[in-house]
Structure 1
Amino acid sequence: MTLPTIRPGRPGEYDEIARIWMESWTSTGLTPRSDSLLSDLRARLRREIDNGWSLFVADDRGTIAAMLALHLPTLLLDQLMVAPGHQGRSLGRHLLAFTREQLPDEIWLKCVRENDKAWRWYEREGFVFEKEEPNPATGFMMKHYRWKKR
């Protein structure tokens, strides 16, 4: 199986990228799908890009299979979201390898504590737990992780 191509997200794709973000996030069971959530993610996507996100997509022969948002100045992997229909195919690992090319020495990320599938995966991928803090905007308790090149 050929892995999707990772490339920059395009402005004309922002609505689709926000939809992939919502589908991936709601697949965790922590938040239900809703039109208001999708609207919030569409607005946040544009706001975060204006604030410095580097936005990438995994393009599977013309279909967006995943989104990746990096904030390079702060070494932050902000979002790695794989569409439910593309999960379990090593796409997350492919996106993480791409992230390590962009941030070769150190990467920070935050993960919702209740999303144990995600944080356990990051731990298996070499990220080390640093601390927990609540997200003031969402109320979720966030686990902070760091990966550092050896």
Structure 2
Amino acid sequence: MTTRLRRYEDSDWPELLALWIAAWTQARSDIDFTARANWLAELFARSREHGADIIVAEDEGLAGFVLFDPARKWLEQIAVHPRAQGAGVARLLVGHVKKACPEGVALSVNTDNARALAFYRREGFTLDGEGSNPLSGLPTRRLRWAPDLTPRPAPPPRR
């Protein structure tokens, strides 16, 4: 099945919220993400007011989304539905963000989220600092992706 990207529409909200809860509950079953629904709604509203972009990935339904601010070069939220994890949806979404932020982009990820850390490492993100999650208090790592602007030497001529 082909996954396509498109801009978020207000009618996507119920399905997007359910996707976010399912994805994050799978990652952190010790946190009640249903109770954080209002926080996500406020984050979306505030971010959109300040020019952030929301892109959804869809196949048979919403497969994932990314919320990012191209002006601040900040990836705020990304989530992939559990049924679509491992199918390249996150890579597709992050690829869109990289194209929209060609000078680079940063994000914060919980230090204990090994799967996310490994994914971002594969996507070329590097450690840029440490902090803590304002909601949970959990330690975080700030990661940054920047295009490799260093010119590479030409390969030796073939003989």
For 1:44, the equivalent position in structure 2 comes to 43
> TM-score if structure 2 supplies the norm length?
0.84
The 1:45/1:31 distance shift into structure 2, 3 A limit, reads farther
Q: Tell me the distance in 2 between the aligned counterparts of 1:43 and 1:97.
A: 26
Give me the identity figure in percent. Answer: 25
Pairwise CA distance, 1:33: 4.1
Residue ranges of structure 2 left out of the alignment (5+ in a row): 149-159
Superposed CA deviations along residues 75-102 of structure 1, whole A, max 9, x for unmatched, are 1111121000111111111112111111
Superposed CA deviations along residues 94-128 of structure 1, whole A, max 9, x for unmatched, are 11211111112211111111111101210121111
The 1:137/1:29 distance shift into structure 2, 3 A limit, reads closer
Matched, 1:83 2:81: yes
- 1:54 and 1:70 in contact (8 A); partners too: yes
RMSD: 1.8
Q: Which amino acid aligns with 1:45?
A: F
Higher Rg of the two aligned structures: 2
User: Secondary structure at 2:141's aligned position in 1?
Assistant: strand
Pairwise CA distance, 1:74: 0.9
For 2:65, the equivalent position in structure 1 comes to 67
- 2:75 and 2:105 in contact (8 A); partners too: yes
* Structure richer in strand, relative to its length: 1
The 1:109/1:7 distance shift into structure 2, 3 A limit, reads same
Pairwise CA distance, 1:142: 1.4
